[in-house]
Amino acid sequence: MHEQAPDAPAEARAGDRMVQPETPLPVRAWITSGRGKSFHADAHAVAWTSTQVRVRYLDPGGREGFAWVWASAVRRR
């Protein structure tokens, strides 16, 4: 679990309206692993608020992960 990306602070999205699309959107996201290594990942946005996006991604080792990241770290593919 050391490689699992930490979530952006939940308090920063508290009270925001959350969107959960029926079909996840393909995105490109900057992810920082639990060990502090950053990588660019093809991912899918599974939920978002005005400031954060929950993404499903594959890390460089091929493991699936989920994380809340800042919206500025995500772009649509």
The 10s digit of each residue's pLDDT in 12-58 is 999 999 999 999 999 999 999 988 899 999 999 999 999 999 999 99
Instruction: Specify the 3-state DSSP secondary structure of 37.
Output: coil
Residue appearing with tokens 């290594």: 37
**Sheet with 25-32: strands ordered across:** 64-70, 52-58, 38-48, 25-32, 74-76
The domains found in the chain, sorted by start residue, are 10-76 (2.30.30)
pTM above 0.75, yes or no: yes
